[in-house]
């Protein structure tokens, strides 16, 4: 679809106390950085752990470690849940707890969170405590079921709570009412990292490590997991999260990371010393998520827990294969979904729903979230994709656009039509829900009504926000390297994007749908630069009739056969 390129408005240029390239000074100012300390990523700058419920959680856990109680970690089936589960198990073992294990719900059998069904499975192992990671804030019935069995429950989560909180023994969630922790953007893995760090402090204070001859664990050794889970879960990279990600990246680049992460980097074809934050989201995250989408996230957690590099490679290869299967399934589903929408457009080109709901009984429930994201990106409309899960129930995965808080929209629908939604939860930009298959049409209409109530026509126009035009002298390797190292970039702290007009010197298709270009910055061709655009519309490109283009792009570094050159990584192109 046609997109609008809009340049960022800079109301105030911040004067930083360290020397910066003028372009970086402008980029940081445009992202709301107010002071040079916000660019300092040492662990000492992390927010203090003033979480509501943390003292209760730590007290329970310290007693459990001393008593050598049985603890089971119950995680979510995505990358954040997997890294959270692995971190909790590894940290507790490092602190001397021998009887700790994890249990991750199979999404196809038990659904999301600490359900009564997953509690029954956990109860067979006779745990003293269940710790939820990256879930639990909405598990009212599951927590009740555990406590009825005499199992204590500690909920660690970051999702937005509903009107009612579970009656857990302790809840640590920066988004629960009354929690004063400044950053509400922690991923689940960030929350459990804080909890484990506080537990180490408590055990140190009571002399546990010294009395038992246990080496005190270095919590920084778990930051590779924190960085991966944080970026893969697409939470906003505020200063606190940037510290966690930057520190994790630094450790991985130095070769100090889990064998499982090292193995996933290998199968993804990534070199650890050149890793950037976006690689967590585009290379590692999808492979880890594929285990939870198509099979069982236990595979991903075991890979992260693995101490053997050879065994980790085997598990990483399995996840890589699952990711290829996921891509194949997704491609078929995407073709079917686009066909449905094309029929709607042909029937009534002016009346494509503002809130898109799609359902096919053959679709794979592990892939509907990705499909919803693809549809949302193509049509720039909030999208929910549903799959059949049996017993007249369908599950949906939602993705939103700026301007619509998707969980709040579902909450409004539930208030207006109490009979439609069975359950729901999520964030501003992503959510999940369940409803009766019989209610699909009514829900689709209600969702479209709610989107139309909250958005305007302008909100449905896809916008690429640019940091402006680069002068020819700035298109060089030195600045490209500076921009790469100036991150970590990510959600709400986006990697710099520039725009400009170029002359097309050469263009050719590479792979199935990528466009490789040679561009000139002027009609005389005095300065030439390479560019690549991924996943172009092959009905339009390549086209030798097109001689000028307008691009939105990132300044990138290309390494090929020992040669290092600057290239433009194209986010959007349109012919002129």
**Number of domain units in the chain:** 3
Are 496 and 571 members of one domain? yes
Are 535 and 404 members of one domain? no
Are 394 and 422 members of one domain? yes
Structure tokens at 465: 């926000």
Are 93 and 226 members of one domain? yes
131 lies in a domain? yes
9 lies in a domain? no
Name the pTM for this structure.
Answer: 0.92
Are 158 and 247 members of one domain? yes
Last residue of a domain, one of 269, 294, 319: 319
178 lies in a domain? yes
pLDDT for 350 equals: 65
Q: Is 346 helix (H, G, I), strand (E, B) or coil?
A: helix
Are 309 and 350 members of one domain? no
CATH number of domain containing 385: 3.10.310.30
The answer to whether 238 and 184 are in contact (CB under 8 A) is no
Are 163 and 311 members of one domain? yes
Are 52 and 109 members of one domain? yes
For residue 279, the 8-state DSSP code is H
Are 253 and 356 members of one domain? no
252 Rama sector, left if φ>0, alpha if ψ -120 to 50, beta otherwise: alpha
Are 442 and 571 members of one domain? no
403 lies in a domain? yes
Last residue of a domain, one of 403, 427, 460: 460
367 lies in a domain? yes
Residue 28 CA to residue 35 CA, distance in Å, equals 10
Are 453 and 480 members of one domain? no
Burial environment of residue 50 by CB neighbours within 10 A (0 to 12, 13 to 18, 19 or more): exposed
Number of Cα atoms under 13 Å in the Cβ half of residue 252: 32
CATH number of domain containing 560: 2.40.50.460
For residue 170, the 8-state DSSP code is E
- CA dihedral 279→157→247→268, nearest 10 degrees, is -20
152 lies in a domain? yes
Last residue of a domain, one of 460, 478, 509: 460
Sign of CA dihedral 185, 187, 192, 198: negative
Q: Which residue from 195, 184, 281, 264 is spatially nearest to 230, judged by alpha carbons? A: 281
Pairing relation of β-strands 421-426 and 430-436?
antiparallel
Within 50-94, where are the H helices? 54-67, 79-94
Bridge partners (DSSP) of residue 500 are 551
27 lies in a domain? no
CATH number of domain containing 273: 3.90.1640.30
Phi, psi (degrees; rounded to nearest 5) at 426: 150, -155
99 lies in a domain? yes
* Cβ-proximal residues to 422 (8 Å cutoff; 6+ apart), any chain: 393, 433, 434, 435, 436
Are 103 and 182 members of one domain? yes
Task: Give pLDDT tens digits along the chain (576 positions).
Answer: 789 999 998 878 888 877 889 999 999 999 999 999 999 999 999 999 999 999 999 999 999 999 999 999 999 889 999 999 999 999 999 999 999 999 987 766 666 789 999 999 999 999 999 999 999 999 999 999 999 999 999 999 999 898 899 999 999 999 999 999 999 999 999 999 999 999 999 999 999 999 999 999 999 999 999 999 999 998 999 999 999 999 999 999 999 999 999 999 999 999 999 999 999 999 999 999 988 888 778 999 999 999 999 999 999 999 999 999 999 999 999 999 989 888 876 656 567 899 999 999 999 998 999 999 999 998 999 999 999 999 999 999 999 999 999 999 999 999 999 999 998 888 888 899 999 999 999 999 999 999 999 999 999 999 999 999 999 999 999 999 999 999 999 999 999 999 999 999 999 999 888 999 999 988 888 899 999 999 898 889 999 999 999 999 999 999 888 889 999 999 999 999
The answer to whether 136 and 115 are in contact (CB under 8 A) is no
Which structural domain range is residue 398 located in? 334-460
């Amino acid at each position: 679809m046609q997109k609008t390129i809009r340049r960022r408005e800079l109301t105030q240029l911040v004067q930083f106390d360290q020397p910066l390239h003028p372009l970086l000074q402008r980029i940081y100012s445009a992202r709301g950085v107010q002071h040079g300390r916000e660019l300092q990523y040492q662990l000492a700058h992390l927010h203090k752990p003033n979480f509501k419920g943390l003292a209760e959680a730590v007290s329970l856990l310290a007693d459990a470690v001393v008593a050598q109680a049985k603890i089971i970690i119950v995680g979510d089936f995505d990358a954040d849940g997997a890294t959270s589960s692995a971190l909790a198990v590894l940290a507790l073992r490092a602190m001397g707890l021998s009887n700790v294990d994890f249990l991750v719900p199979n999404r196809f059998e038990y659904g999301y969170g600490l359900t009564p069904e997953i509690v029954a499975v956990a109860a067979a192992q006779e745990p003293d405590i269940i710790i939820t990671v990256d879930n639990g804030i909405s598990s009212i019935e599951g927590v009740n079921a555990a406590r009825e069995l005499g199992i204590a429950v500690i909920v660690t989560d970051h999702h937005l709570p509903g009107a009612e909180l579970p009656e857990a023994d302790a809840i640590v969630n920066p988004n629960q009412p009354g929690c004063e922790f400044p950053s509400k953007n922690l991923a689940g893995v960030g929350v459990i990292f804080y909890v484990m760090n506080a537990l180490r402090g408590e055990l140190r204070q009571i002399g546990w490590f010294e009395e038992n001859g246990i080496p005190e664990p270095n919590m920084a050794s778990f930051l590779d997991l924190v960085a991966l889970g944080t970026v893969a879960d697409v939470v906003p990279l505020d200063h606190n999260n940037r510290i966690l990600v930057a520190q994790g990246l630094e450790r991985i680049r130095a070769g100090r990371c889990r064998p499982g992460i090292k193995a996933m980097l290998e199968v993804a074809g990534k070199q650890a010393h050149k890793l950037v934050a976006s690689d967590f989201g585009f290379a590692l995250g999808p492979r880890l998520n594929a285990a939870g989408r198509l099979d069982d996230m236990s595979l991903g957690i075991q890979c992260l827990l693995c101490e053997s590099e050879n065994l980790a490679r085997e598990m990483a290869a399995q996840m890589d294969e699952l990711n290829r299967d996921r891509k194949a399934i997704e491609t078929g589903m995407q073709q079917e979904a686009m066909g449905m929408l094309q029929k709607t457009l042909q029937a009534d080109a002016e009346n494509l729903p503002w809130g898109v709901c799609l359902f096919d009984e053959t679709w794979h429930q592990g892939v509907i979230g990705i499909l919803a994201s693809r549809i949302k990106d193509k049509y720039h409309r909030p999208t929910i994709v549903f799959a059949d899960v049996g017993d007249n129930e369908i599950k949906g995965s939602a993705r939103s656009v700026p301007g619509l808080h998707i969980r709040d929209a579902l909450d409004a629908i539930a208030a207006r039509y109490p009979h439609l939604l069975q359950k729901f939860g999520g964030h501003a930009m992503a959510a999940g829900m369940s409803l009766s298959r019989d209610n699909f049409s009514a829900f689709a209409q209600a969702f479209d009504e709610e989107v139309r109530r909250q958005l305007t026509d302008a909100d449905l126009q896809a916008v690429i926000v640019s940091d402006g035009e680069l002068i020819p002298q700035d298109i060089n390797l030195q600045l490209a390297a500076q921009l790469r190292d100036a991150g970590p970039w990510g959600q709400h702290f986006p990697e710099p994007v520039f725009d400009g007009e170029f002359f097309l010197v050469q263009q050719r298709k590479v792979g199935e749908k990528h466009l490789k270009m040679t561009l000139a910055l002027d009609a005389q061709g005095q300065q030439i630069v390479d560019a690549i655009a991924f996943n172009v519309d092959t009905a339009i490109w390549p086209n030798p009739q097109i001689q000028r283009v307008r691009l939105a792009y990132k300044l990138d570094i290309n390494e090929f056969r020992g040669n290092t050159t600057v290239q433009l990584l194209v986010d959007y192109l349109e012919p002129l």
